[in-house]
Amino acid sequence: MEFNAATIAGFLKGEVVGDPEITVNTFAKIEEGHPGALSFLANPKYEHYLYTTKSSVVLVNRSLVPSGKVEATLIRVENAYESFAALLHLVDRARPRKKGIHPSAVIEPTAVIGRDVFIGPFVYVGENCFVGDECSLYPNVYLGDNTRLGRKCTLNPGVRIYHDCIVGENCVVHAGTVIGSDGFGFAPQSDSEFMKIPQIGNVIIEDNVEIGANVAIDRATMGSTIIRKGVKLDNLIQIGHNVEIGENTVMAGQTGVAGSSKIGKNCMFGGQVGISGHLRVADGTKIGAQSGIPSDVKKDNSVLLGYPAIDHRDFLRSSIIFRQLPELKRKIDDLAKLVELLKKA
């Protein structure tokens, strides 16, 4: 598809600076721009690329005052990053959506399939499942018995959803993710062996959730593991049994949440964050990458770093001391030698 700058500016309620008739048909990073591409500038540290980019059109914030000559046509908007995301979303929606049921798919007679769905090769839909209107199930998806999918869900290749799980509307699950696998529940026995505790609950995923590739969300021992609406999970995340993730919380890759923990709404977790079991994390908490949370976070909007995680300001002050430890050790050794000499004297 090809659009001119004037059309794009109209959609974004922006202002064109340059040639309103210049056209673009693809996207590119500003440092890799080429004729016919649209780029954006949101981070000031990339501003120097604005004066060398070959992109035809660049989205910029209204507040930007160029310090040099710009060859590209600019579209000034309130927020360049949000506007760029809106354009990508528009292009993604414009792509033709597959429909129909492939002859190799297996759909049990008791399953209910909505209108305008796509069910790809080698998909299995179990007994008493419900698949909502305009859902897309790509090859090798598995839906266990009594699973329910709301409208406009997309399950990418190889997604497995075990029995009795519920997924809301407008959810996206990426390849290889498993929803509803057994929680890690084993009871120690007197003979030092472990007896498996049956996991008879389910997983509930509310509306507008996106789950990355190769994520594991365990079913509850009893009751439900719950992912609230608007949650975004990156790739390679582990969510334990009976966990609850609050609305609009986002988690980066390799985060792990142990069983029965409750995460508040609007939280942000960096990569490789670890959350211990049976604790609560307050609303709005931000946790830096590779941090560990061994106990409750009680204060809303906390910003934490380290293990065990502490207030980010205390952690940054402590990190200065960490770097000075070798020099402090040397000084202590020198003082110890001096004390010994004074004793002998």
Are residues 324 and 273 both part of a single domain?
no
The answer as to whether 259 is a domain residue is: yes
Lowest mean pLDDT of 88-97, 108-117, 129-138, name the range.
Answer: 88-97
Are residues 197 and 298 both part of a single domain?
yes
Q: Does residue 341 surpass a pLDDT of 90? A: no
The number of distinct structural domains making up the chain is 3
pLDDT digits (tens, 9 = 90+) for 221-254: 999 999 999 999 999 999 999 999 999 999 999 9
Rounded mean pLDDT, 299-316 = 86
- List 17's β-bridge partners, or say none: 74
Are residues 341 and 272 both part of a single domain?
no
The answer as to whether 127 is a domain residue is: no
* Catalytic one of 89, 163, 241, 278: 241
163 is catalytic: no
How high is the pLDDT of residue 228? 98
Residue 287 confidence class, pLDDT cut points 50, 70, 90: very high
Lowest mean pLDDT of 98-107, 231-240, 243-252, 336-345, name the range.
Answer: 336-345
Are residues 73 and 163 both part of a single domain?
no
Of the three residues 94, 115, 132, the one that is the final residue of a domain is 94
Are residues 339 and 244 both part of a single domain?
no
Of the three residues 78, 94, 110, the one that is the final residue of a domain is 94
Are residues 66 and 88 both part of a single domain?
yes
pTM: 0.84
The answer as to whether 163 is a domain residue is: yes
Q: What would the DSSP string read from start to end of 244-305?
A: EE-TT-EE-TT-EE-TT-EE-TT-EE-TT-EE-TT-EE-TT-EE-TT-EE-S-B-STT-EEE
The answer as to whether 18 is a domain residue is: yes
CATH number at residue 63: 3.40.1390.10
Of the three residues 94, 126, 151, the one that is the final residue of a domain is 94
Q: Give the domain extent around 251.
A: 159-308
